[in-house]
Structures are given as structure tokens and as C-alpha cells.
Chains A and B, each alone.
Chain A
Amino acid sequence: MSRRGDWVYENNGGTCVAIAGADYCVVAADTRLSVGYSILTRDHSKICELADKCVLASSGFQGDIKALHKNLSARELLYQHQHNKRMSCPAMAQLLSNTLYYKRFFPYYAFNVLGGLDSEGKGCVFTYDAVGSYERTGFSAQGTGSTLIMPVLDNQLKSPSPLLLPARDAVTPLSESEAVDLVKDVFASATERDIYTGDKLEIVVINKAGTKREYIDLRKD
């Protein structure tokens, strides 16, 4: 595809993960920005806080991602002015889907994971493809390390499908600290085997008390 003179994208690499709990949500991403085999910076955040209970992590082409995050933040501010409240996570999920689909024929090269609390205070994670198809799930990984991380998350967190009828009780979800430990573990493993993932891990935890942020060092090689 890069033979064509009109290929305007590049993949800056990186991985994003989100896990939803009963009353919290963990959103994490590494902070490495690469082009080809070079690392441009070890300190670039892929996470954007769109609303007090809504956080977006995106990996892919950082040019498109910057534009997308700016676009969504601006729309959220408009919503605040018009409705006198901040956007809920499910509302932002639909907005992100439409924003991505409107560029269906010249897509944002962004693989997104949206995490936060829904209007009842339960954790929610929405996972997207590049053109806007989305689904509410309990956990997700996107980016270059996603194929390494998803099987581990499936093993630890998978609960009976929401499509089952009669509905089955979901497996008891992890506590907040267990979820954060799991995220640290999967990133450490992904860093070992994915050249684009590493340097530092930024973890954002959202619960009813608010948002807190933590940085963990990863392998820099």
C-alpha cells in the first residue's frame, strides 16, 4: 500500500487497554511514540479525559488522534453549554462512533478504547474499530500489542456473553487494585514481545471519588 503516492497515514504504534469493574474503570496506555524502527519520544500520552467520568485512549496515527481528541473535547464543551451537564460515557460513545463514521471514506487512523462510568455508576468500556463500529464490553485492548494482551484478558476476565438467553450471571469482577495489577502485568508481557510497546505506562482509574493517574516504568528497549 505504501507504493501508492497517496498514502498519507503512518502508524505510531502503542497499545491501549481498558477494564470495567462494578464501580470503577481502569484505562491504560503506554507512552512510546514510534515511526518505523525509531522511537520519537518516550513520553507521549495517548489518553484524553473527555468528561469527568469518561476517558478515551487511542493508538494508531497520532496526527489523526490529536485531531480526534480535540474534536471530541470541543463537542463535549458545546454539550455542557447546551445541556448544563457533562456528557455521560454512553453518550460520548455514540458521538465517537458517529464522528468516526462521518470520515468513512477518509478514516481517522485511530483504534480507540473509551472507558468510564455510566449514569448508574457502573464501569463501562466501549471498543471501536477505525470507522466507528462499537460495542460495550467488560474489557478491551487495542493497538499493536492488542493481539498479545486480549487472550490474557479473555482468560482472566471473560464473563458469559450478554447475548445469552436466559441471561447468566457474570463472573464476579475483580476489585480495583486487582484490575490495576492485571493491567501492569499484561503491559509488562506485551512490552517483552511487541517492539512498539514500552517506556512508560500511564494508568487512569475512574471511580465515584474522581479520577486518579499513575505512571509505571516499562522496559525501554
Chain B
Amino acid sequence: MRLDVSAIENSFAVQVDDYAGLFGAGAGADLPAMELPTCADFDGFQKETKELMKNKKGTTTLAFIFDKGVIVAADSRASMGGYISSQTVRKIIEINPYMLGTMAGGAADCQFWHRNLGIKCRLHELANKRRISVAGASKLLANILYSYRGMGLSIGTMIAGWDEKGPGLYYVDSEGARLVGTRFAVGSGSLYAYSILDEGYRFEMSVEEAGELARRAIYHATFRDGASGGCVSVYHVGPNGWKKLSGDDVGELHYQYYPAQVTPVEQEMADAPAA
């Protein structure tokens, strides 16, 4: 009886140092091989990647282009962990009279770099005797943020404006992304905002309809996302610059959209007779 040692036998040939068959078919050329990702932390990189995807910017902002310009909307809550540090934060920043930026992520980062962008845009106007384009302004910001990549800045912003090419909308973030697009929502409440926005969006809309769509989208995000709340601010950017369309407290908006139902009382409780 011959012992069946096929399980213990190694079917892989012994590694021969011939540079893995670089100079011709060597002994190691038919080794079954598997590509391993080249990274610092092989055991932990998958977990790290999942963390990257998690949306940590506690806010909801959105912007979209339609035939009459750009609508930009945001909530106004700032949270530090579980504590609400402010309900009156200005998340839509006026870079100049025809360009707006939204704030998501670190409040200080967004405030500082938007102010810096406004300064750079003004310097561009003075140097070139014409306004900077939305593409140019977003590129200025994206390049700065890319140079700080990996250092812990947290910014998820949209630059919206009207320049010679018409309405412009860019998404710029602290990872270095710069995306051109027609519809964006940023922040922990963005998923809720997207659902309302995508459902109701049409390219041809009146300014009022577009503003109402944005307001409802932010309201629904504040309803379901704990990190969003306060007031919904809606701005419209047209050929003559931006104009604030509305500012509404979401608590009051709730009862406008869903009026309180007066439930009929079957048996009213009577006060106990005074003893």
C-alpha cells in the first residue's frame, strides 16, 4: 500500500532566483501568483478605507444648476461631538457679489480658506481687470487644499457662481477632489437631501419652484439627521449676482409641511371636583 502524500506535497516549485522569469521562461514562471496591494498597513488598510468613506461632516448643504442659474441652500447647525455649539452658523459664504461658497466640515477651516479665496479672487480682478471665473476660483481653492492633503483639514465645499460662461458649480474638498457638476449635496445629511432633490429636479423650473425644492430637501435632511438643523437658508445666483431667497426655521417649516392634526377627543377628562 502506497501512502497517499499528495496533500503534504508542495505543488509549487522551489523559488529560483532568476528574477521571476524576467529574462526568459525560468523555473518560477508558472508559479501561481497573487497580486498583493502595495501599502503600508496590509492588515488594516481595508478598515481604514471604510472609515474614509464615512461622512463625518455634520451638516447638510446642497447646490444645483437649473435654467435660471444656481440655487444654493444649507442648514445652520454646528455640532462638537454631541453638543450643539451653534444653531445660527452662516454656512453659505459670500465670496464676492456673484460667487458663493458652502461650508461643510471644520468650521474654522472653511471660514479661513473661503476668506482667503475671496482675497485671491479680488487680487485676480485687480491684476487682470476682469472677474475670475468659477472654474478659476474653484481651482485656486482646490490647489491650496491639495497642498495640505493628509494634514487633517476637513473641508467639503461647493463653489457656485455666474461667470461669462453662465452658471458654474464645482465641488471641492480637503482630500483634493474638484468636480464639476450640476447637482451636489454635501454633509452627513446629504443622502436625505439627495433623495428629495433628485426626485423633484427638472432643468426648467421657476426660481420660486427651485428655491422651494432646495428648502424641502434641506428640511428633510434636518428632520432625519441629528447633526443638521437650525435654519434653512436658500440663495439664488443669477446673471446679476446672488440674492438670498429665504431663511426659515426648520421647526416652523415642519408644521407648514405637516400641519398638526387635531385629534378628536372622545371622552374629555373633567377636572376633579374641588374637595
Contact = CB atoms under 8 A, between A and B. Distances in A.
Main DSSP-derived SS at the B contact region: mixed
Interface stretch (A74-82, A98-106, A172-180, A183-191): A98-106
Contacts of B110: 133
Interface residues of B, number: 29
Contacts of B83: 147
Interface in B83-132: 83, 85-90, 106-112
B272 interface: no
A43 interface: no
Given A101-B112, A161-B87, A163-B90, A133 B107 contact: yes
Given A129-B80, A137-B88, A164 B249 contact: yes
Contacts, number: 64
Nearest to B103: A133
Contact of B85 (A98, A104, A129, A163): A129
Interface residues of A, number: 21
A129 B83 CA distance: 13
B244 interface: yes
A161 B231 contact: yes
B108 A101 contact: yes
Interface string A150-194: 000000000011111100000000000000000000000000000
B233 interface: yes
Contacts of A131: 106, 108-109
A164 B249 CA distance: 7
B246 interface: yes
B24 interface: no
A116 interface: no
Closest 4 CB pairs of A and B: A133-B107, A133-B108, A165-B247, A131-B108
Given A132-B111, A160-B249, A163-B90, 6 more contacts: A98-B112, A105-B152, A127-B86, A137-B86, A161-B247, A165-B247
